[in-house]
Chains A and B, each alone.
Chain A
Amino acid sequence: MYVELKNINKKFGDYEAAKNISFGIEKGKLAALLGPSGSGKTTILRILAGLEQQDSGDVMIEGNVVNDVPASERGIGFVFQNYALFRYMTVYENIAFGLKVQKMEKQKIRERVQEMISLIGLEGLEKRYPNQLSGGQRQRVAFARAIAPNPQLLLLDEPFAAIDAKVRKELRRWLKEMIEKVGITSIFVTHDQEEAVEVADDILIINEGKLEQIGSPIDIYKNPKTPFVAQFIGTSVILESLSGFKGYEEIPNGKKVIVRPEFVEAFKSDNQKFAKMKNAVEEGIIENIVFRGSYLELTLCVNGVRLTTNRSLERRHVEIGEKMCVLLYRVYLFDENGAQIHKNELLKGIDVEAL
């Protein structure tokens, strides 16, 4: 493991920001610390950077314990939330700052800064001040400033939070490409699961100061290990019971049910595609329809509970109040020990994924 945290604890007064956190990131990987706001993810990043001191536990970089190594000597580049560009310095001076502090030769500084500026594609803007740049350009400068001194590890705190939705997607892709191009081990903090899933190789899910799960985006999505992860990833509905639903036995005591939109199918009664699953069909009434930009989100009342499903815009028109046939392919069952997938008994032997 290139970067490792071992049993890290940190308290701010009564608030436990990190509870016995341990994990490792391999060299060259791009990892995301994902969690709701206030979950302690930024604290973990700052402990790793040396901007915050842990109460107990070890931080290791390349096999060495760096607990007592000051932030400036850990060889870490840090991109701050809102970038923290030096506002009284130009783009050039911002990127050159870390190199100047290291007392690099003037000529070499110039070469390195030029290299950085062409890497981030901001040629010609060297003399601009941060307030003369767009949000996306600022982020590029913050990235260049962080990696100019050639750090071994790059940490980014909510790198896309300050950028509007449209540019954000473009920048995500840009940042991922850049990090791959430079080949630097990177960890970023985000509260946006879409962002984590799209950008990261590994996701670490943090909740209330605890590490809930670590794994690839697909792995976390398909096999949530804790109730929190099952609820947090994807848009989920939580039910107390499944009584009335065909194909599901009564739920064991103490367990709850999580239903994701993709577990639910809604179709009109004359739809032949689902004919062979007729025996598992429930009746549902459309309570609400929300246009989500590229699909519709339907809220259906089925057996007295509310389920949501996403509907392609290519399919037939539906209306609020319309009676639909509803299939519940599978659910997650969870208690405090973990979450397991549970399939509809009546659909066994039918290849649901092929539909």
Chain B
Amino acid sequence: MKKTSEKIVKWILIGISALFFLLMLVLPLIEVIVRALADGLQSYQAALAAENTLSALKVTLIATVIAVAVNTVFGLVASWVVTKFDFRGKNVLSALIDIPFSISPVIAGLAFIMTFGRSGWAKPVIDGINEVFGTDLALVFSVPGVVLATIFVTFPFISREIIPVLYAQGRAEEEAAAMMGASGFIIFRKITFPHIRWGLLYGMILCAARAFGEFGAVYAVSKARGKTFTLPLEIDALYMAGSADSITQAFAVSSLLVGMALVMLILKNVVEYRGKRNNR
């Protein structure tokens, strides 16, 4: 009796989740592809090859690569500090790492404008730097601003993946190696890194996926279409233009982003699988 009722519950729950995924994810994504190809392959290709699209793709890739690189270093340092040392304010630091998860990205973007924008307190500092070095650096309404906003939004991803792994590992192995006279670098390379490599890679993939799709924070600091727009912004601009053509183009560009996300998803699963298998 119990067996059959358990089975029924199991299949009902599976059915509900499958239906939910179908309605909320699969159908809308299929819709994206269908609408993208509504005017035929040729206009699809034209939409992807448009100057604004290519510029947006470039800005997105730049922002993503830099954000992943910066956050990898930051994530390693932060998780190392939080797990391997005891100091005052450690819990505060640990909580601060999570801020981007809890604050709306738009607020992050606005905060950047308030800080580095025309009336921001840091504006004279940037002006000073520009004067001394003869540069034309600007942190808002520019590609560096987009990069900064992306870094901000994605910075917890990597440390959040590594911190639990380092906690679980404890300090004993590192202490054992140190007792035998191993240097910090050797300890990191031989003892710590093999532990965290899959977590690190997983975090980098999540970080990249999030960087591709970030809208709010970037929207606040990026206003020049064709120059500082990222793919999500370009899609929004095309869609908002409202003509039948531009809406189809918006879907074409969306399909590009969906494709990139799918690649990340597959990578993520491969890494997860290999990580589990290697987890001795």
Contacts and interface: CB of A to CB of B under 8 A. Distances in A.
Interface of A: 49-51, 71-73, 76-78, 80-82, 84-89, 97-98, 101-102, 129-131, 145, 149
Given A97-B180, A98-B180, A101-B182, A80 B175 contact: yes
A88 B181 contact: no
Given A84-B172, A86-B190, A88-B194, A49 B181 contact: no
25 contacts: A49-B179, A51-B179, A71-B178, A72-B179, A72-B181, A78-B179, A80-B175, A81-B172, A82-B172, A84-B172, A85-B173, A86-B173, A86-B177, A87-B195, A87-B280, A88-B194, A88-B195, A98-B181, A101-B180, A101-B181, A101-B182, A101-B186, A102-B180, A102-B181, A149-B180
A97 B172 contact: no
A284 to B, nearest CB: 50
Interface in B158-200: 170, 172-173, 175-182, 186, 190-191, 194-195
**Chain B interface bracket (under 10, 10 to 19, 20 to 34, 35 or more):** 10 to 19
Contacts of B177: 86, 97, 101
Nearest to B181: A72
A166 B180 CA distance: 32
B280 A80 contact: no
A80 B181 contact: no
Contacts, number: 59
A86 B192 CA distance: 10
B180 A72 contact: yes
B175 A84 contact: yes
Contacts of A49: 179
Contacts of B194: 88
A86 B176 contact: yes
A84 B173 contact: yes
Contact of B280 (A77, A78, A88, A97): A88
A255 B280 CA distance: 57
A287 B218 CA distance: 78
A81 B170 CA distance: 12
Contacts of B178: 71-72
A102 B194 CA distance: 22
Residue picked from B173, B179, B194, B195, most chain A C-beta under 10 Å:
B179
B175 A97 contact: no
Contacts of B170: 84
A76 B172 contact: no
A76 B179 contact: yes
Shortest 5 CB-CB distances between A and B: which pairs? A84-B172, A98-B180, A72-B181, A88-B194, A84-B176
A70 to B, nearest CB: 9
Given A129-B280, A131-B280, A73 B172 contact: no
Nearest to A98: B180
Given A72-B180, A84-B172, A87-B195, 4 more contacts: A78-B179, A80-B176, A84-B173, A88-B280
A149 B191 CA distance: 19
Nearest to B180: A98
Nearest to A130: B280
Nearest to A50: B179
A49 B179 CA distance: 8
Nearest to B182: A101
B192 to A, nearest CB: 10
A344 B231 CA distance: 94
Nearest to A131: B280
A87 B172 contact: no
A84 B181 CA distance: 16
A285 B173 CA distance: 55
Contacts of B173: 84-87
Contacts of A149: 180
Nearest to A80: B172
Contacts of B195: 87-88
A49 B178 CA distance: 11
B187 to A, nearest CB: 10
Contacts of A98: 180-181
A130 B177 CA distance: 16
Contacts of A145: 176
A80 B178 CA distance: 13
Interface in B255-280: 280
B182 A86 contact: no
A78 B180 CA distance: 9
B238 to A, nearest CB: 49
A85 B173 CA distance: 6
Interface in B123-180: 170, 172-173, 175-180
Nearest to B193: A88
A23 B268 CA distance: 57
Contacts of A82: 172
A86 B181 contact: no
B193 to A, nearest CB: 9
Find the residue from B176, B191, B280 having the highest chain A CB count within 10 A: B176
A72 B178 CA distance: 6
Contacts of A73: 181
